[in-house]
Amino acid sequence: MSLAELGVVSEIVGSIAVLFTLIVLVFQISRARKEITRANARELIRHNNEILLRLSENPELLDVHIRGQKRS
């Protein structure tokens, strides 16, 4: 095999490796986005639960909240 042929083969192998790396990166980004979405949903639920807990502990605050909801 000549040096030119070896160069062509190595370019092909390098191109395949870059393509494989990009495909793996796409899958990793997709999984990361899904995980971020789940984490945001969990944080929103935690925050809402905290608000509901505070409303249940304070009747005056609950009354203000209910009156505010009626005006919306």
Predicted confidence at residue 1, as pLDDT, reads 81
pTM for the predicted model, two decimal places: 0.65
State the Cα–Cα distance between residues 45 and 34, nearest whole angstrom: 17
Predicted confidence at residue 28, as pLDDT, reads 98
SS3 category, 2: coil
**Mean pLDDT for each 10-residue chunk of the chain (72 residues)?**
91 98 98 98 97 94 91 74
State the Cα–Cα distance between residues 48 and 24, nearest whole angstrom: 36
